[in-house]
Amino acid sequence: MTLRSITLLVGSVAALGLILYCVFPIMFPSKPNPSRLLLAKIRGGDYAHAGDKDAFRVVLPKIVDYFKEQLVEQTVLDVGCGLGGTADYFYTQGFYNIWGIDIDEGAIAYASSKYPFIDFSVFDATKVDQKFEKNFFSLLYLFNVFYALSDQEKAQALNSLAEVAKPGALLVIFECTSPKPEDPQEIKDLAGKPMRPIVLPLFHDQIKKSKWEIIEAIDLSDNYIKWYKDLLYKLDQQKNSFSNEFPVEIINRLTSTYTAILAKLEEKTWGGIVVYARRKAD
C-alpha cells in the first residue's frame, strides 16, 4: 500500500468517525463543551489555544530543529489535547506516534471519533506517570493547559511528565504568564474554571526543582495581544451566523471571557510565552 493510499484511507476513517458523531450522537454520550465547539469554529480548527495555526508557525520550527527532522521516530504526548486539532496538526507535520490526554470526557469522545489514528484517552496531567511507561516520550507539549492547574498541580505535572519522558526529551509549554499570582475568581475559562497563568518567578523555581532544564523561553506577549484581537474581531463579524447554531449566552460568554483576557494583556498584567525545556539525565 502506497503512502498516498494510506493517507486517503486515514482521511476516510476520520470523516466516517465525524459523520457518526454528528448523525448518531447516542453513540457518544459524552458531548464536548459547546463553548469549545464554538471556539473551534471561530478558530477554523479543533483547537482552543491562542493564535490558532499561527501559533504552530511560531512554535514548531524549534521543535523540528531539535529533532533534526527525524520526526517519524518520536513518541509524542499532547497534554490537554482538547478536541484533538493540535495533535492532528502535529500528525500532518510528520509526528505519527501521538498520544493525547485530557480530563474532558466529551472532548476525548469527539477527538477519538474524528481522529482515530491518534490514541486519545481521559487522564489527568498530574498523574501521567501512572498511565505511561517510564522514559517513553521524546516530545511532550501543552498549549494553554497550565493555566488550568494550581501552583501545586503545576509542580506535580512537571514531575509526573518528567517520569514518562526520555532523558533528553523536549517539553514545550505555550502559555499565558503573570508576574504575580492572580485572583482565581477574576477570570474563568470556558469550563468555568479559574485561570491561573504561569507566575514566572515561581515557574522558574519549579523547573529548577524538577528534572527539566530550560533551553529557551520566548516572550509572546505582543503575539497574544494580536491573536486575541483577531479572535474577538472574528467573533464579532460572524456572531450572527453563529447564533443559528449556538445559544446567545454561549456567544456572550466567549465575548466576555476573551475581552477580559485581552484587557489583561493590554494592561501588561498578563503576557504570553513559549518555553522549551530538556529532560535532564537521571
Model confidence at 70: pLDDT above 80: yes
- Residues near 62 by beta carbon (within 8 Å), at least 6 away in sequence: 216, 276
Residues 223-260: tens digit of each pLDDT: 999 999 999 999 999 989 998 899 999 999 999 999 99
| Per-residue confidence band for 98, with pLDDT thresholds at 50, 70 and 90 | very high
Homologous superfamily, domain 30-279? Vaccinia Virus protein VP39 (3.40.50.150)
Question: What letters, b where the CB count within 10 A reaches 16 and e where it falls short, cover 213-244?
Answer: eeeebeebeebbbebbebbbeebeeebeebee
The mean pLDDT of 52-76, rounded to a whole number, is 95
Model confidence at 199: pLDDT above 50: yes
The mean pLDDT of 41-49, rounded to a whole number, is 94
Mean pLDDT for the chain?
89
Residues 129-186: tens digit of each pLDDT: 999 999 999 999 999 999 999 999 999 999 999 999 999 999 999 999 998 876 666 7
User: What per-residue confidence (pLDDT) applies to 191?
Assistant: 86
Q: Which residue bears the cell 482515530?
A: 116
